[in-house]
Amino acid sequence: MSTGTAELEERRSRLEAARDALTGLDEVLTGACGDGLGELMELLDEVAARASAARVVVALEAVRRGEVAGSATHAWIRQHAPSLRQSGAAAVARIVVDVAAGDTPTQRHDPDPNTALGVVWTAVHDAQVEAHTGCAVLREATRLAPLLEPAALPTATAGLVALAAEHGPAVMRRLRPRLLAEHGHDDALQDLHTRLATAARLSMPHIEPADLTEYQLWMTPEQAATLEAAIGPLSAPAPNEATGEPDLRPAGQRRVEALTAVCATATTLHTGTHDTDRGPDTTLHLTIPLTDLTSGTTPNPDELMANLTGGVRSSATAPVKGPSTARGAGTVLATTADGTLLPPETVRRLGCDAGLLIHLLGARGEPLTLTRILRLYTRGQRRHLLLRDRGCTYPGCTAPAAWTRAHHVHHWADGGPTDTTNAALLCPRHHTHVHHRRLWATVRAHPDDHGHHVAWDLTPGSYDRHLATLRHPPDHRASPAA
């Protein structure tokens, strides 16, 4: 008998002994004392994890020997591992078939460790994760692969493995925005948010007479962060300080009443029963690297800081509290949407009509300045814009002025001033469109023949071209005479 065969038989004998030791274990558990049960549970868990990894290794050996191949692998596993009939057989089959696909007729090859499959195979082989978790990681890595820089995929996969091993595969999607922000192609996170916007929706109400009305709501990260910033302060418990009575309303009741209050305020604004000049729609707290906020084209630092802070620099030196900040995105702070990542272009758009408290960060994540709430258009300026523009200024749009926002034509993040010569009213739809396509407008002191003060350049990227001209005006001096 060869040495290898003898060792295999020895291990088989030990496995049979372990199986026998587990049979009837409940009959002797009363003898455990102190931390005995906890220690026993840890040992059993390690044995189970090792056994699960060993099943994958045995299945892979069967495929490599040619005892089974392709789609028949699933049936072979179900036949010889009946416990996997409940769940798990398909995952084991996929892992071993994918790994064996890298073999050549004369030599076996484990997957390249610098690939997603190689990272997952190492984790499954070493009993870090179960086969079904490994398959879930591979699916997520496959979705991310076209969006990430190729060199970042192994690191991203390793992060997914670690997250799934600690919290289960269901939470892996939470890592997707951060991976796209830090390792994705240009605008990968923005493209994801754009696709999500088409799926966001609010259902029609399901009304039952004398009963609660049901809505179903799906929101983009930006929309959810805005909603939470709006209703968060209003939905906090409000005990009666005068009488000492506690606020006994459940959290869900407080939140729906806060949402109703926000909607009621919006109704009075749009129907003219309240002053038509709005303040900030919400106040969002964000951290974002300075280079991301300015799209890598930082204007004069003094000009930018003065615009963001109203001319006041903070002496903040302590690190910004809250979740770690991702590169390539703004991170929401101080609401129940804490940690939500927003693309830089979305942050720039929100700066037109939302109160933003922005914590700017340097290249190493250090705080550069702690801004005040961005200065928005004043009551008088809004009245002027309502009278001047009458409604949405985007060509062909008929949205009334009550539906519009005041947009900074020259973005505030690029040093644009908050005055009416740098403003144009836009409805929410075209406000998003203008920022997404990066469009520029010319604001005239006097209207054209159609009564319009604002003329849009609808060529994609016109904003960037005009901004470059503003920062580096052409030299019109005449060339010296020959």
* Per-residue pLDDT tens over the stretch 7-30: 999 999 999 999 999 999 888 888
- If asked whether residues 294 and 174 sit together in one domain, one would say no
- If asked whether residues 177 and 87 sit together in one domain, one would say yes
Q: What is the predicted pLDDT for the residue at 132?
A: 93
Residue pLDDT, tens place only, 302-311: 444 454 444 4
- CA distances to 106, 126, 336 from 168, rounded to whole Å, are 38, 17, 23
State yes or no: pLDDT of 301 exceeds 50: no
Residue 286, phi then psi, degrees to nearest 5: -140, 145
Tokens encoding 369: 């300045």
Q: Position 476: which residue type?
A: H
Mean pLDDT value of segment 180-193: 80
- If asked whether residues 166 and 142 sit together in one domain, one would say yes
Q: DSSP string spanning 288-331?
A: EEHHHHTTT----HHHHHHHHHTT------SPPPSSPPPTTSEE
- If asked whether residues 397 and 287 sit together in one domain, one would say no
Which residues, including other chains, have CB under 8 Å from residue 216's CB and lie 6 or more apart?
202, 203
Of 335, 370, 405, the one marking the end of a domain is: 370
Q: What is the rounded distance in angstroms from the CA atom of residue 9 to the CA atom of residue 3?
A: 10
Is 234 contained in some domain?
no
Could you tell me if 399 and 439 are in contact, meaning their C-beta atoms sit under 8 angstroms apart? no
Is 32 contained in some domain?
no
* 3 state DSSP class of 423: strand
Could you tell me if 89 and 75 are in contact, meaning their C-beta atoms sit under 8 angstroms apart? no
State yes or no: pLDDT of 475 exceeds 60: yes
When the pLDDT of each residue in the chain is averaged and rounded to a whole number, the result is 81
- Residues facing residue 355 across a β-bridge: 283
Q: What is the predicted pLDDT for the residue at 267?
A: 55
Residue pLDDT, tens place only, 147-166: 888 888 998 899 999 989 99
- CA distances to 23, 42, 43, 132, 462 from 32, rounded to whole Å, are 17, 14, 14, 33, 75
Could you tell me if 300 and 471 are in contact, meaning their C-beta atoms sit under 8 angstroms apart? no
- If asked whether residues 145 and 100 sit together in one domain, one would say yes
Of 469 and 270, more confident:
469
Q: What is the predicted pLDDT for the residue at 355?
A: 61
Q: What is the rounded distance in angstroms from the CA atom of residue 315 to the CA atom of residue 286?
A: 18
Q: What is the predicted pLDDT for the residue at 442?
A: 96
- If asked whether residues 50 and 171 sit together in one domain, one would say yes
Is 201 contained in some domain?
no
Q: What is the predicted pLDDT for the residue at 127?
A: 94
Task: Give the dihedral sign, CA 143/145/149/152.
Answer: positive
- CA distances to 323, 389, 397, 455 from 450, rounded to whole Å, are 51, 12, 14, 11
Residue 196, phi then psi, degrees to nearest 5: -65, -30
Is 450 contained in some domain?
yes
Of 332, 347, 370, the one marking the end of a domain is: 370
Could you tell me if 84 and 92 are in contact, meaning their C-beta atoms sit under 8 angstroms apart? yes
Residue 187 CB burial class (10 angstroms; 0-12, 13-18, ≥19): middle
pLDDT classification of 210: cutoffs 50, 70, 90: low
Q: What is the predicted pLDDT for the residue at 317?
A: 35
State yes or no: pLDDT of 298 exceeds 60: no
Is 190 contained in some domain?
no
Could you tell me if 276 and 402 are in contact, meaning their C-beta atoms sit under 8 angstroms apart? yes
Tokens encoding 316: 């903040």
- If asked whether residues 361 and 386 sit together in one domain, one would say no
- If asked whether residues 167 and 70 sit together in one domain, one would say yes
Stated pTM of the model: 0.56
Residue pLDDT, tens place only, 366-416: 666 555 445 578 778 888 998 899 999 999 888 888 778 899 999 887 888
Is 21 contained in some domain?
no
Range among 116-130, 168-182, 267-281 with highest mean pLDDT value: 116-130
Q: What is the predicted pLDDT for the residue at 332?
A: 75
The proportion of the chain whose per-residue pLDDT surpasses 90, expressed as a percent, equals 34
- What is the extent of the structural domain holding 445? 379-471
**Nearest residue to 140 (alpha-carbon basis) of 158, 157, 163:** 157
Is 345 contained in some domain?
yes
- If asked whether residues 62 and 178 sit together in one domain, one would say yes
- If asked whether residues 361 and 412 sit together in one domain, one would say no
Mean pLDDT value of segment 472-482: 58
**Nearest residue to 98 (alpha-carbon basis) of 48, 161, 162, 141:** 141
Q: What is the predicted pLDDT for the residue at 397?
A: 85
Q: What is the predicted pLDDT for the residue at 176?
A: 81
Residue count (the chain): 482
Q: What is the predicted pLDDT for the residue at 209?
A: 62
- If asked whether residues 299 and 326 sit together in one domain, one would say yes
- If asked whether residues 60 and 148 sit together in one domain, one would say yes
Is 278 contained in some domain?
no
Could you tell me if 322 and 287 are in contact, meaning their C-beta atoms sit under 8 angstroms apart? yes
- Count of domains observed in the chain: 3
Q: What is the rounded distance in angstroms from the CA atom of residue 404 to the CA atom of residue 386?
A: 9
Residue pLDDT, tens place only, 409-460: 998 878 888 889 999 999 877 888 898 889 999 999 999 998 999 999 999 9
Helix (H) or strand (E) holding 333: strand 330-333
Q: CA Rg, the chain, in Å?
A: 31
Of 353, 370, 387, the one marking the end of a domain is: 370
